[in-house]
Structure 1
C-alpha cells in the first residue's frame, strides 16, 4: 500500500487537506476499505486448510460451512477460506480415511476417524494460533489478524459518517481520524 495515500495524512491542513478536500479523503477511505476487504480473504496455503479442518474436527463433528465460519471466527476475521478450498480438502481427507461423512437432513457432517485423531494430535497448533515468536517484532498472530478487521470497521464507520453525517459531523470525524493516525504513528515510534 506504500504510496497509496498522500504524505500529508488524513486531515492535514484542514478538512481532508492533502486529498483535494473532503471528497478526496473519502476516496482514500474507500480505497483503504477495499484494500482491507481484499486482504481479509484466504491468506493461508493448502496445508493450512487441512490443518485447520483437522483441528476443528478434533473438537467435534461439523459440516463444511460450519468449518468455514469457525476458521473465520478463530482467526479474528483475517482468514475465511472459500468453499472451493474447504470441500476439496474434506473430500481428500475422506478418500485418505482420515474423516468420515454422515449425511443428515441434506447436510454432510464430517468426523475424524481413529487415523484422523492421530494425525490431528500430531499436527501441532492450529494455523490461526500460529507460533509464538521470541524475536523483536514478533507478536500475537491474533492481534495481527485483528488489525485488518479493525481498519476495515474504521473505514466502514467513516463511510457511514460521509453518507449520513452533517457537515459538522464530517468535520468532527476528520478530526478523530487525524488524531487516530497520529496515535498509530506514535505507537510505531515507541521503543
Structure 2
C-alpha cells in the first residue's frame, strides 16, 4: 500500500517533491494542507504512518497470546509476532518491543524455557507454563479485532490513499499556483469532514 505514497518523495532526490521547492517551505506546505494532526506522508493516520495503525492490545493479551501459541508447538519470538498477526486477521500485530520482554518475563517466572536454534531462541512451555496457558482464553488476539467493520475500513483507506495520491501528483509536478490551489482544496475538504461530525451542512 505504500506505493500510493510514492508521489511524496520516492526516486531520485527523495524528500523533494518538485524541482526548486524543498526544505522547510515544502514541509510547511504539506502541513498546511492537512493540518497539524494530518497524516504522515508515509501513509494516512489509520495506516503505517507515525508508527500507528496496527491494532493495539493490553499487556496481558501479549502474555496470554504467547502462552496459547506455545501450547501448539515451540516457536521463535518473530514467529509468534507473525502468527498473532495472521490469527487476528491483521487487527493486531504486537511489536518486538512488547513480545521479547514478555518472553523474558515468562522465562524468569519458569513458565517457558528457551534453547538456541540456529542463532535464534526457540521457546517452549514448561509443565507449569502449560497449566497457566490452560487458564487463559483460547484466542486472546480476537479482542483486538472485535467490533471492526473491515469493509468500511477498506473503503476509508482507499479514499484516503486516492486523495493523497492526487495531492502528491500536484505537489510533485504542479506550478506554485497549482500547489497553492491544491492546499486550499485539501483544507476545505478537511473542514467539511469535521462538519460531518458536527452534523452541520
Q: TM-score, normalised by structure 2?
A: 0.54
Counterpart check, 1:100 vs 2:121: no
Shift of 1:89: 0.5
Deviation (angstroms), 1:99: 0.6
Specify the alignment match of 1:155 in structure 2: 160
1:63-102 map, 5 Å = 63-102=76-115
Q: Relative to 1, partners in 2 of residues 1:43 and 1:148: Cα closer, same or farther, differing over 3 Å?
A: farther
Q: 1 CA distance for matches of 2:110 and 2:135? A: 16
1:83: how far off? 1.0
Root-mean-square deviation (CA, aligned residues, Å) is 3.9
Tell whether the 8 Å contact from 1:40 to 1:79 is kept in structure 2 after alignment. no
TM-score by length of 1: 0.56
Whole-angstrom distance in 2 between the partners of 1:149 and 1:113: 41
CA distance in 1 between counterparts of 2:72 and 2:120 reads 19
Q: Compute the displacement of 1:54 (Å).
A: 0.7
Change (3 A) 1:75 1:146: farther
Name the counterpart of 1:31: 39
Deviation digits for residues 20-67 of structure 1, max 9, x if unmatched?
xxx9xx959x73952202552351111111011111111111111111
| Shift of residue 152, structure 1, vs aligned partner | 3.6
State the partner residue of 1:171: none
1:144 to 2:144 alignment: no
Cα drift, residue 130 of structure 1: 3.4
Unaligned runs of 5+ in 1: 1-22, 132-139, 165-191
Contact 1:36/1:148 (CA < 8 Å) preserved in 2? no
For residues 160 and 34 of structure 1, do their structure 2 counterparts lie closer, same or farther at Cα, with a shift above 3 Å needed?
closer
Q: Which stretch shows the higher mean deviation, 143-152 or 66-75?
A: 143-152
* Equivalent position SS for 1:125: coil
Aligned residue for 2:122, secondary structure, equals: strand
Contact 1:98 1:114 in 2 (8 A): yes
Q: Does 1:48 align with 2:61?
A: yes
Alpha-carbon offset, residue 84 of structure 1: 1.2
Name the counterpart of 2:9: none
Counterpart contact for 1:78–1:149, Cα < 8 Å: no
